[in-house]
Amino acid sequence: MTVHRLRTRSGRQRAGSPSAANAREVPFAAATVTRDARRAVHGVLASGWLTTGRETARFEDEFAAWVRAPHAVAVSSCTAALELALRSLRLAPGSLVLIPAVTFCGAAEAILHAGLRPALVDVDPRTATATPEAVDRAVRACGRPAAMVVLHYAGAPAPVAELAEAAGLPLDRIVEDAAHALGTRAGGHPVGSASPAACFSFYATKNLPIGEGGMITTGDEERAAWFRRARLHGMSADAWRRNLPGGSWRYTVDEAGLKANMTDVQAAIGRAHLRRLGAWQRRRDAIAARYADALAGVPGIEPLDVPEGGGHAWHLYAVRVLAGFGTGRDDLVERLADRGIGTSVHFTPLHHMPFFREAAVSPRGLPGADALFPLLLSLPMYPGLPDSSVDRVADELARLARAPVPPAARRAPAPRPPAAERRHPDGPAPGGRRGLRTLVVGAGEAGRALARDLAGASEFGLRPIGFLDDRPADAGPADLPVLGGLDDTREAALAHGAEAVVVAIPGLSPERFRHVVRQAGAAGVSVRYLPSFIAALRRDVVGSDMRALDVHTLIGRSEMHVVSPETRSIVAGKRVLVTGAGGSIGSELCRQVRGFEPARLFLLDHDESNLHRLQLELDGDALVDDDILICDIRDGGRVRQIFDEQRPDVVFHAAAHKHLPLLERHPCEGVKSNVLGTENLVQAALASGVERFVLISTDKAADPISILGATKRLAELTVQANAGGECVLAAVRFGNVLGSRGSLLSVLAEQLSSGEPVTVTHPDVARFFMTVEEAVGLVLEAARLARGGEVFVLDMGDEVRIVDLVHKFARSVNVPDPEIRFTGLRTGEKLSESLFSEQESYAPTAHPKILATASAAAPDLGDLRRSLPGLYAAAERNDAAGTRRSLAAMIPGFPASAPPGPRALTVPYPDDF
């Protein structure tokens, strides 16, 4: 989610808010029109000649002299300048033009308007500028370009000659996007002085503000003459020149042009402001130096690197909001706005926009742009910005770096809701009660009853903040506002910081339900899939059946909203493959991924029935395309075929054998699926150019004593040993997932409903627990956070004793004193689990609730490759004892023979992940 706060919230602050307490607002930008410019405009108006004329010609001459260019041609905008510059190259229709992924959308549109096709180049996340290495990767991935647009981002000089060389292009095929670069110096010369075509902007907030307008500078006289014709329909003479002495009413058109001329009114403002430009540039230099000094001690705020050599125009002062700051970029934007400080983000990467995902050619992955965008923030920067305002911005950043993030900051920009919502403000609920901020879909009788029950009982773990309803006029009176219709799910979730959506419309059609799911997923918000709630809706009963949502009571902590909207950039527009898609974790992962609008979503599983069911649920149809992939991951040839044909960009690997007691009986099958299957997928991913690969593992992989834990640990080692290349490989460890197929709650519900004794292995057995939504959020966030080789773990608090959980769950379904039968720990089971092994260290990540583990020493790929063939051979000949011995030789502490223990499998196994 990108937030722009060009203006602050003056006039609509609550009493006592930071902005209300401090009236010294600092807008992000302030346009300047000097007194000289006003007088010049009056002179033009008095002349009676308002279109392109004498004033425009004078402005062109003076601007050319200022940038030391032989020729300057005034046009209506920088976008028009770029289009004309590209048209002047006479390229074949559809030719590729390289352009940085982080740039203004108008620059890419100029390429398309010229009949050409943009090819995206990644940027260095430290500078937001393309590098020769990134250009080379783009050329190899997209094909040889015919031209390139080079952006001087924020006013920093770009290495034009080096980029041209990396693209294999002569300098006359380079168009400089100098919208930010009036005043920039490169190689000792002003940008635009020696370029075949440099394009400047005079938008109201640019270094030379006019309001609108642009300029092309060139050293080529013939191109300058062509620009003058092409800017006005291709006419050989404009109206002013036709009326000069010796002029004629006659003109001709040799080729189609644009209507893109500058007026004398604009030129008059430009001439007046050009005389101030030197002083304004010196003020920008001073502001930048003051920011640099003031922010040096603020943790987590890092200005973009400034290239050595040349001179910076400081059109923008851009910083990165790093993990050390303590809150995310979007939260910071909101909190600064509340304090009267405007900010902005330059720019949303092109490949994050649906239109350009189709219209542009992109290499497989733009990791620099994806890493930079969630961090990027532009601070106020304009010549009229006083030192006191610069200091105030820095002081507020320093305060916020030390301050905890209030719940009020966890929302996207939106107008303050009506008074009705103020009973449930964006901060904690009355009495400090917490819960996931929840949108209730349906404001009818069922929805209002549900909202009342949820609001009155904190144990549900959901805090309603408003309704979504397509027919709000039909809804009865309610304490919460209707925030939009069902089509507004994504916007409302972002605008109001929603963390969950619950559907309360009995009989909602499957198509509309899927639509809500996708909209919610696009905002990183989950929609509940709870059988008890579905049943409640069918009986028009609500609150009393919501006890299954009592996560806080069951596991001793509040449920966390893990996935962030920024994660969308990892899968949006990408080809995503999910293995084990038919399982409970895989299917929920597919639902979330689908909401982030991937280009394709491939569902891979060996169970065709589950795949068919899932695609029906996701799309309403099945077998309409080739997105269903039936495959056993143990079949390396089939895996390679799928990756070669489908070319996925992102892979989430959820397929596994995971039933601990059964795998103790059948260790060879565990090796074939969990180890060999993972290696097959990793090798296929590396060979086919996959960008990101995330393995789903288990906490049982930490110091494993079970076949499940050992095979999953080897899968983790396979991922870590192959990390470090262009493909980013990582793993996540799950605790026990509530709500997954065969999980503890489903087993308890069956046993309690049948009147049977509840079976527990040991009075003191304890486990870590997480919800399905938390599990999927961890996977998606890990894909965003990964740099290669990490194992990510959710901070799940303390372990929960199973006996305590049984009693709490039984009370929630009105069984006050359940009978419990202890069966004894089975082979491979531990009394308690750990999230990390003794050989691992761990560290915090940019996400406050996710930790990353690292082994004391990275696994050696050579050792692993030497050991795996023996393990595979034992598994292939179904030698259970030999398989155990091989595992013991590879994993310290794993028992070479199965220890004695109960082997009966008649007792349900509730210890799934």
pTM for the predicted model, two decimal places: 0.51
End residue of a domain, out of 400, 424, 451: 400
Mean pLDDT (the chain) is 83
End residue of a domain, out of 400, 423, 444: 400
Residue 702 within a domain? yes
Give me the active site residues, please.
700
What average pLDDT does this structure show over 324-350? 92
Residue 557 within a domain? no
Q: Are residues 372 and 495 in the same domain?
A: no
What average pLDDT does this structure show over 237-259? 81
Whichever domain contains 440, its CATH number is 3.40.50.20
Q: How far apart are the first and last CA of the chain?
A: 31
CA–CA distance, 792 with 777 (Å, rounded to integer): 12
pLDDT the model gives residue 477: 61
Residue 139 within a domain? yes
Is 907's pLDDT higher than 80? no
pLDDT digits (tens, 9 = 90+) for 484-498: 899 888 888 887 878
Residue 697 within a domain? yes
Whichever domain contains 318, its CATH number is 3.40.640.10
Residue 906 within a domain? no
pLDDT digits (tens, 9 = 90+) for 875-902: 999 999 999 999 999 998 898 887 665 5
Cβ–Cβ under 8 Å, residues 865 and 676: no
Looking at 333-347, 533-547, 751-765, 792-806, which range is the least confident one? 533-547
Q: Are residues 75 and 217 in the same domain?
A: yes
The candidate with the shortest Cα–Cα distance to 579, out of 669, 466, 696, 479, is 696
Residue 9 within a domain? no
Q: Are residues 459 and 388 in the same domain?
A: no
pLDDT digits (tens, 9 = 90+) for 785-812: 999 989 998 877 777 888 888 887 777 6
Q: Are residues 580 and 520 in the same domain?
A: no
Q: Are residues 611 and 760 in the same domain?
A: yes
pLDDT the model gives residue 713: 93
Q: Are residues 499 and 374 in the same domain?
A: no
Domain coverage including residue 203: 26-242+251-400
Is 687's pLDDT higher than 90? yes
Helix (H) or strand (E) holding 390: helix 387-402
For helices 707-721 and 861-876, give the axis angle rounded to 10 degrees: 140
Based on the structure, what is the number of domains in the chain? 3
Q: Are residues 300 and 444 in the same domain?
A: no
Whichever domain contains 713, its CATH number is 3.40.50.720
What average pLDDT does this structure show over 812-839? 78
Say which residue, 448 or 180, is predicted with more confidence: 180
pLDDT digits (tens, 9 = 90+) for 112-127: 999 999 999 999 999 9
pLDDT digits (tens, 9 = 90+) for 291-301: 999 999 899 99
Residue 538 within a domain? no
CA–CA distance, 216 with 473 (Å, rounded to integer): 55
pLDDT digits (tens, 9 = 90+) for 530-581: 333 333 333 333 333 333 334 445 655 655 666 676 788 888 889 999 999 9
Looking at 52-61, 249-258, 274-283, which range is the least confident one? 249-258
Q: Which amino acid is at 12?
A: R
Q: Are residues 363 and 477 in the same domain?
A: no
Q: Are residues 176 and 43 in the same domain?
A: yes
Going by their DSSP bridges, the two strands 728-734 and 791-794 should be labelled as: parallel
| Phi-psi label, residue 540: left if phi above 0, alpha if psi -120 to 50, beta otherwise | left
End residue of a domain, out of 488, 507, 530: 530
CB atoms within 10 A of CB 32: 15
Which structure tokens are listed for 808? 């709490």
Say which residue, 646 or 756, is predicted with more confidence: 646
> In degrees rounded to 5, what are phi and psi of residue 464?
-65, 140
pLDDT band at 699 (very low <50, low <70, confident <90, very high): confident
What average pLDDT does this structure show over 476-489? 81
Residue 386 within a domain? yes
